[in-house]
Amino acid sequence: MFDNINEQHSKALDDIVKARRTVRAFSPDAPRKEDIKSVIQAGLIAPFGALAVAGKSDFRKVIVIPNSSTANVTAASIIQSRFRQFADELEKKIGLAPFVQNLRRVAQQGVPGIGNAPYYIVVGERKGTPPVAAQSISYCLHTMWLKATSLGIGFQLVSATIQMDSDPEFCKLLGLSCGDYALDGCALGYPAENYEPPHVDYPVYDKSVAWL
Ligand SMILES: Cc1cc2nc3c(=O)[nH]c(=O)nc-3n(C[C@H](O)[C@H](O)[C@H](O)COP(=O)(O)O)c2cc1C
């Protein structure tokens, strides 16, 4: 069917890239630990800002928090109370703007992806100069996302995690030295039965691309 191995790889990658979607409703059936491990292993070999972390071997950390663990409940509660505080502080400055309303919603209803998915996973990337830790985490998470997709495992970014990098209680829970790591997170689990992601109008080639 394929002329060569490159075509085969390219077709497989195209299929996975097209199948990648955000999953926001999960089955309670947890994926196998080996599969979660292989998703994380894919993230560990994603690109990183080498100059920013030169000389450091502990520049990327991954913390797995199963939803059956007490750590999961603690993480959710720390984030909710932190978001309540953020909302109070910000509302005094800018009023009840949409962003403040979103903070309040998370503070009241909880963080989507924490508690309703079998795994909440936090990625920490050591901060350095130039300040590219956030970008490095995105590469790590995106590689995990593609690997999860290839295994039929659903993925949801949990961006609320980003705000928690200087929270002593949260960093202590993760076992990371506070302030040294940028954070981001995701939820992993099989999509709920009959889950259909919403329609998204992605940019189209003819309108979005210029060749100079
Ligand atoms: C930087 C960034 C942060 C995001 N944070 C969240 C999040 O916290 N929760 C969530 O459900 N989706 C989050 N998303 C997912 C986007 O909403 C989603 O990718 C977009 O709507 C396109 O849908 P798709 O992922 O199904 O293609 C985030 C995406 C990006 C790029």
Average pLDDT score over residue span 118-135: 98
CA atoms of 45 and 52, how far apart (whole Å): 17
168 Cα to the center of ligand 1, angstroms: 27
pLDDT at 3 over 90: no
CA of 65 to the centre of ligand 1 (A): 20
pLDDT higher for 212 or 3? Answer: 212
Residue 78: other Cβ atoms inside 10 A? 18
**Sequence spans of domains, the chain:** 22-67+115-191
- In whole angstroms, what is the distance from residue 88 CA to residue 101 CA? 10
Q: Are 157 and 186 in contact (CB under 8 A)?
A: yes
Edge-to-edge order in the sheet of strand 60-66? 60-66, 119-126, 181-189, 154-157
Over residues 140-181, the pLDDT tens digits come to: 999 999 999 999 999 999 999 999 999 999 999 999 999 999
**27-74 tens-digit pLDDT:** 999 999 999 999 999 999 999 999 999 999 999 999 999 999 999 999
Per residue in 74-93, pLDDT tens?
A: 999 999 999 999 999 999 99
Cis bond before residue 130 (omega within 30° of 0): yes
Pocket of ligand 1 (CB under 6 A): 21-22, 24, 112, 156-159, 197, 200
pLDDT in tens, 187-203: 999 999 999 999 999 99
Measure 86 CA to ligand 1 centroid, in angstroms. Answer: 22
Give the Å distance between the CA of 21 and the centre of ligand 1. 9
Task: Tell me which architecture the domain covering 22-67+115-191 has in CATH.
Answer: 3-Layer(aba) Sandwich (3.40)
Question: What whole-number distance in Å separates Cα of residue 161 and Cα of residue 138?
Answer: 13
- pLDDT score recorded for residue 5: 95
Which residue of 105, 159, 164, 184 sits with most ligand 1 atoms within 8 Å of its CB, as the best mutation to test the pocket? Answer: 159
